[in-house]
Amino acid sequence: MTEVRRPSAVRALTTLLALTATATVVVELLNWWYAPEQGFGLAVRTGWAMLRSLGFLLLIGHVRRGRTVARPFGLILAVTTVFAVGRLIVPRQGVPPLPGLLGFALLTGLCVAVVWLLYRSPAVSGHLVRHRPRLVIDRDGISWRETPPRQPEVSGWLLTSRAAAFTYSPLMLVPALVAGGAVLDDRLAAVPAVLFWFGAGIVTSYAVLFCTAFLMRGKGWARTLLVAVTAVVLAVDLPLCWWLLGPDGLVRDGGPLLAAAALTLYGLRRATRAERAAPAA
């Protein structure tokens, strides 16, 4: 069996993704080592940031298989990684340690390079054209193979909005977990608020799943509903970050959620503009 040789840009992208996954772990370990306070909150945030290294490994698989989902997945993974790591290198007091700053600069450069290759390289764009396999029943029986989607193919910006919206729930649950560790020490009166925060994060996951399922089917009302869900998520999460975690928590945990929300809304806007311009073209 002859192995198909991938374009050099695709091979460079997979190597870059492996380096980014490694750099994510190294930078997080440096941040943990130099942190003046290695408490429960930092442990939770560090663990969540390091999980992104697994995301980059998953992205390598999508790129190798030429999946169309690799581009939006890579974009939201790169953006949230920069925010997740950036919020950890800034201490509560003083200036960040030099190794942490250098590691963050390196990781940011790697993430920018990943996004550039995903969206600006013609070779990579020509490679990422395959769809996910699904169960097919036909005259030949039952098989699991790649087939074109039944619905009209959605734009890349809608896929980007979907990927960004799927991060709402974990970006709410992580600070809720941090707040849970804090209130158990000296703020037991805030336990109901923390439980509400957890519940809101779980409900958000189902709400986003519902919206994006119909969004991928071209339902206009699903876009409006996703915008409403985004507004509610911000209205719930940001005040709780401020109240339970203080200004530091608002920056560390509210910032990444704001970035994900902005990317979701921007993707919806770009997709709408592209669809309106298509008939005129």
Q: What is the pLDDT of residue 252?
A: 79
Q: What is the pLDDT of residue 29?
A: 79
Phi, psi of 8, deg, nearest 5: -60, -35
Q: What token pair was written down for 220?
A: 């206009």
- The answer to whether residues 84 and 169 touch, using CB atoms and an 8 Å cutoff, is no
The identity of residue 50, as a single letter, is M
E-strand stretches of the chain:
133-138, 141-146
Concatenating the DSSP letter of every residue in 105-156 gives HHHHHHHHHHHHHHHH-HHHHHH--B--EEEEEETTEEEEEE---SSPPPPH
- Residues of the chain short of pLDDT 50, as ranges, are 1-2, 281
Q: What is the pLDDT of residue 136?
A: 58
The identity of residue 199, as a single letter, is G
Helix/strand/coil for 83? helix
Q: What is the pLDDT of residue 2?
A: 44
Q: What is the pLDDT of residue 143?
A: 60
242-258 pLDDT tens trace: 988 888 788 878 888 99
The whole-model pTM stands at: 0.74
Q: What is the pLDDT of residue 1?
A: 41
Q: How many CB atoms lie within 10 A of CB 131?
A: 14
